Amino acid sequence: MQSPRDILAALWHLAGGDPSALDAVTLTGAEPVLPSSFRVAAAAQASIAASALAAVEIWKQRSGETQNVSVDMVHAMVECRSERYLRRDGKPPPPTWDPTAGIYRTRDARYVRLHTNFPHHRAAVCKVLSCEPEREKIQAALMGWDGAAFETAAYAGGAVVSLMRSYDEWKASPHAKALTELPALTIEKIGEAPPRLWPTGKRPLSGVRVLDLSRVIAAPVAGRTLAAHGADVLLVYGPDVPGIPWLTIDTGRGKLSTFIELRSEAGRVRMRELLADADIFSQGYRPQAIAKLGFSPEEAAKISPGIVYATLSAYGHAGPWAGRRGFDSLVQTSTGFNHAEGVAAGIEGPKELPAQMLDHAAGYLMAFGAMMALARQKREGGSWHVRVSLAQTGRWLWNLGRVANGFAQPDLKEETVSPFMEDVPSGFGALRAVRHSAILSKTPASWARPAVPLGTHEAEWPSAPS
């Protein structure tokens, strides 16, 4: 199997990085870190290290100054479960899932997973099943359905669910075959533009303006990572768009937050004004949802020539599922991870990865791709599109190999996690949160702005960088 350094080198090569830059990286720690048959800790360390090395290279491009970066494997794994370890005024997170979310059986003895944390998704499931939103009634209604038929009908009805597949089943599907042609991330030039000058500042991304249209974990983690290296990240939410409060706190560190109603012409006008002065447009909504509002990659490049447009999707931009909604838990179920973990653990039915690993790794890969594209824009010009998906991140993780006897590894204890935590103020009260795991020797990563409630700020760029 590839070592973590080899995994990092492959990502670096994929994004067009200078091989000599890898000499600046130190990776510490050893697998396994968590109970799993997959190399979740190596994936955490490599994806975070890739994003940090991109920041190191940007700083060298801006200042001429070199620096070293180190990433500890245990710290990286803790950061990839940051929402789990967050404490607000000393209190742990509330229950993660809606009572109706999770695994169910179907008539043909298959398993399906329902994602019902958002009310409209829960309502869509119950409309398809013609039942009340109670776990027992949902289960009873599903006994009238075969798994694949329910999955198809539920998606057609606006729900987000997945049928549990083995890896062999997934690999044989038309969509999985389409994804085999795609790398873990793509960086594509989508327009001509002159190189932009770097703003002044004392951090790799000082003065870099990022529009962050995202929610839940993956794309918000990308924005949080850019903020950790000094970017001015403006989180844009619709006033009526549902969120998950605990994740808003955890991934909101370092960001400004504003409301814009993009379904109104006034909101779209304001967004175009913000975009004209942005360097990165990062979005993680359902494919085509933002494009229909006039902010596709191509339209963004017209509004802001030289923009770096980063897209996170569930199932990628090729194949029959390219437009399908999805979340980490569902993609794990669809693509074979839950089945494989269950088999490895010796249990009946599905078992989840010990972290929302597809989300977190995809977020760091998204930030990595955005920074590499930004550095390229500053050197040679152009507008750029970076694409990352949960499914492709999953394929990357799967191809890293398996951990023999991985479930013999105990979970992390509090005394192991505690050294990686910090106490910070926020707009929600006192937080105890995971520090960023990439240690840069001359421009330390940190969040200059506290997490704040959604819509706290005006829809405008700050007058001074963070």
What residue segments make up the domains of the chain, in order of their start?
4-94+179-318+353-440
pLDDT at residue 464 is higher than 80: no
Percent of the chain at pLDDT > 90 equals 92
H or E element, residue 194: none
Measured CA distances, 362 to 217, 386, 393 (Å): 9, 12, 6
Distance CA 396, CA 379 (A): 29
375-390: average pLDDT: 98
pLDDT at residue number 243: 82
**How far does Cα 140 stand from its chain's mean position?**
34
pLDDT at residue number 325: 86
Quickly tell me which residue has 């192991």 as its tokens: 416
pLDDT at residue number 241: 85
Q: Which two tokens stand for residue 63?
A: 């200042």
* Residue 451 near residue 426, CB atoms below 8 Å: yes
Tally the residues of the chain. 466
83-99: average pLDDT: 93
H or E element, residue 297: helix 297-303
Strands in 87-88's sheet, in edge-to-edge order, are: 87-88, 431-434, 421-424
pLDDT tier for residue 90 given thresholds of 50, 70 and 90:
very high
Per-residue pLDDT tens for 23-78?
A: 999 999 999 999 999 999 999 999 999 999 999 999 999 999 999 999 999 999 99
β-sheet bridge partners, residue 209: 232
pLDDT at residue number 372: 98
- Please classify residue 347 by burial: count the beta carbons closer than 10 Å to its beta carbon, then call 0-12 exposed, 13-18 middle and 19+ buried: exposed
Q: Which two tokens stand for residue 202?
A: 């004392």
The packing angle between helices 135-142 and 119-129, to 10°, is 40
88-103: average pLDDT: 92
Distance CA 60, CA 107 (A): 59
Determine the 3-state secondary structure of 347 from DSSP.
coil
pLDDT at residue number 82: 98
pLDDT at residue 466 is higher than 70: no
Which amino acid is located at 387 in the chain?
A: R
Distance CA 408, CA 345 (A): 9
Distance CA 27, CA 19 (A): 16
| Average pLDDT, rounded, for the chain | 96
Distance CA 342, CA 387 (A): 31
pLDDT at residue 104 is higher than 80: yes
Per-residue pLDDT tens for 246-304?
A: 999 999 999 999 999 999 999 999 999 999 999 999 999 876 889 999 999 999 999 99
Per-residue pLDDT tens for 144-168?
A: 999 999 999 999 999 999 999 999 9
Q: Check residues 322 and 421 and name the one with the higher pLDDT.
A: 421
pLDDT at residue number 323: 85
H or E element, residue 232: strand 232-237
Q: For residues 309-335, b (16+ Cβ closer than 10 Å) or e, as one string?
A: bbbbbbbbbbbebbebbbbbbbbbbbb
* Residue 162 near residue 335, CB atoms below 8 Å: no
Give the CATH superfamily of 4-94+179-318+353-440. Answer: Crotonobetainyl-coa:carnitine coa-transferase; domain 1 (3.40.50.10540)
Q: What is the per-residue DSSP string for 151-169?
A: HHHHHHTT--EEE---HHH
Distance CA 25, CA 241 (A): 40
Nearest to 126 by CA among 104, 109, 149, 142: 142
pLDDT at residue number 463: 86
199-222: average pLDDT: 96
| Phi/psi of residue 240, nearest 5 degrees | -110, 10
